[in-house]
Structure 1
Amino acid sequence: MKEETADWIHNLFFSPPEKISSRQIILSGDTVHHLKNVLRKKIGDVVFVTDGQGNRYKAEIVDIERSKIITEILETKYMPQKGSLNLGLAFVPLKGTRNEFIIEKGTELGVRIFFPFISRFSVVRRLSQKKIERFEKIARGAMLQSRQYHLPHIVPCGGLDGLIEKFQDFAYVCVADMSGGDEIPLFLKSLLYIVGPEGGFTPDEITQFRNGGVGLLNLGENRLRSETAAIAGICKILAAYRQI
């Protein structure tokens, strides 16, 4: 085995739990190309891998094939999640790559679960399985880039009723709204932050939120695009919890 370097500081790779046994990790997909052709890794080199469930594996490359790389596990270490707040983000899907921006930056900042949902003024009316898989890929890349070991969940909710069912999983729920206040409840274990479409919510939707005990969070006087409001709200909440 070659002498270990600080490679894990610069390169962390993902392998799903089903490709990890007690002794070996099989790396496949784009990871193979990156290791073979970009980083020029060889048999005997050490790599660091996560399963997205908090485990960091130090592993040695023992075989390089065309479509997969086999590694032998040398060490396993559990990496706790950073910060005490379980933060969820619910957002209405947008056109183009703006959803990917929300997923990427939200993951980097520490969002642990995303709830895409459809509202009355949603421009995008349906999320395909291909689009959800794209979201998951973006989240994996952002997790690795930001040196995290817990992959956020992406849970499509359908319509507003489906989202409201998720409220029971959180100690507090708030939605971005210019009529709201600046205060964020502290010492909570979980919080769900909701961002609507740029057309806003209908009066009926607002009533549903109020009936569900949803708080209103003011992000300032400027009118923000939905993706900007998503990141601004996340930062405001995490700053209050000193997690940023």
Structure 2
Amino acid sequence: MEQSLFYAPDIQPDAAAYTMNEDTSKYCIQVLRHEKGDSVLLADGRGHRFTAVITDDNRKRCSVSIRQREQMPAPSPALRIAISFTKNASRIEWFLEKATEIGIQTIIPLVSQRTEKEKIKAERLQNILVAAMLQSKQFYLPDLQEPQPFEKVVNSNDPQKLIAHCLPEQKRELHQHMQPGKDTLILIGPEGDFTPEEIQQALAKGFEPVTLGNTRLRTETAGLVAVTLMNAKQREL
């Protein structure tokens, strides 16, 4: 039987025991119906995988005994995406969930000239990332950064820098242009796309223009296509 995985952000690497918070305890004991003696897994979001056994099946403060700790290998190379958040919050929440499931290490809310939503509900979005990490049985939680202005992000020193835009300029398909084995940052613009000035600014900073296909995509769809293609390219190694 597959072991259930729970989030334990405050667990210490050398812990011998751990007590889940009330929400996690309720889900573990009341919803999943685990009981004393059951084996479960814990993830701290930083790559540690804990194998544990329930010692107290209290639904408000479930306690476990740690039997084994493993440091899972970090995803490499790192994939980062800077994406303008949409005015419709549900669309970007969908993107965060799916991008986490597929595999992304860093998400930067990008504030460009045409960005319509500059403020984010960090706690809610963090909860979405955690749920997606657990659902997909991963042990590294993506780093959701604070919103950053376009001018700052384009000064990134990532080894491989890409920008997806809609202007009819010469571009290569992402999967043809991207080189596997390199840490990569891709920029995805707002619903009205990047301005021509922003595109030129990015190109001057070493970003390579790429296309994600022949159809015009919504921001969140473009982000998900980019994450999917980047992961597929990295698996070619």
CA deviation vs aligned residue, 1:193-213 (integer Å, no higher than 9, x gap): 111011011222122211211
Paired residue type of 1:22: A
Shift of 1:21: 5.2
Shift of 1:120: 1.1
Show the 5 A alignment for 1:24-39: 24-39=17-32
Query: What is the Cα-based RMSD across aligned positions, in Å?
Result: 2.0
1:76 aligns with 2:66: no
What secondary structure is seen at the aligned counterpart in 2 of 1:135?
A: helix
Paired residue type of 1:90: A
Question: Which of 2, 13, 35 is matched with 2:6 structurally?
Answer: 13
Shift of 1:22: 1.9
Shift of 1:113: 0.7
1:161 aligns with 2:151: yes
Partners of 1:125 and 1:157 in 2: CA distance: 7
Partners of 2:207 and 2:133 in 1: CA distance: 29
What secondary structure is seen at the aligned counterpart in 1 of 2:62?
A: strand
Show the 5 A alignment for 1:100-139: 100-127=93-120, 131-139=121-129
1:175 aligns with 2:170: no
Partners of 2:23 and 2:13 in 1: CA distance: 17
TM-score, length-scaled by structure 1: 0.87
Q: Retained in 2: the 8 A contact 1:184–1:240?
A: no
Q: Quick one: structure 1 residues 92 and 29, their matched pair in 2 at CA, closer, same or farther if it must change by over 3 Å?
A: farther
Q: Quick one: structure 1 residues 146 and 53, their matched pair in 2 at CA, closer, same or farther if it must change by over 3 Å?
A: same
Paired residue type of 1:181: R
What secondary structure is seen at the aligned counterpart in 1 of 2:69?
A: strand
Counterpart in 1 of 2:181? 188
Shift of 1:106: 0.8
Q: Retained in 1: the 8 A contact 2:107–2:142?
A: yes
Paired residue type of 2:81: L
Show the 5 A alignment for 1:81-92: 81-82=74-75, 84-92=76-84
What secondary structure is seen at the aligned counterpart in 1 of 2:65?
A: strand
Paired residue type of 2:124: R
Counterpart in 1 of 2:226? 233
What secondary structure is seen at the aligned counterpart in 2 of 1:93?
A: coil
Provide the identity percentage: 30
Q: Retained in 2: the 8 A contact 1:26–1:69?
A: yes
Shift of 1:34: 1.1
Partners of 1:107 and 1:120 in 2: CA distance: 27
Paired residue type of 1:159: P
CA deviation vs aligned residue, 1:112-153 (integer Å, no higher than 9, x gap): 1100121111111322xxx11111111111111111111110
Counterpart in 2 of 1:199? 192
Q: Retained in 2: the 8 A contact 1:171–1:188?
A: no
Show the 5 A alignment for 1:130-149: 131-149=121-139
Shift of 1:18: 4.4
Instruction: After superposing the two structures, state which structure 1 stretch, 25-34 or 50-59, moved more.
Output: 25-34
Instruction: After superposing the two structures, state which structure 1 stretch, 200-209 or 180-189, moved more.
Output: 180-189
Paired residue type of 2:228: C
Counterpart in 2 of 1:3? none
Matched residue pairs, number?
231
Counterpart in 2 of 1:46? 39
What secondary structure is seen at the aligned counterpart in 2 of 1:213?
A: coil
Partners of 1:91 and 1:29 in 2: CA distance: 34
Q: Retained in 2: the 8 A contact 1:19–1:26?
A: no
Paired residue type of 1:163: V
Unaligned 5+ runs, structure 2:
none
What secondary structure is seen at the aligned counterpart in 2 of 1:221?
A: coil
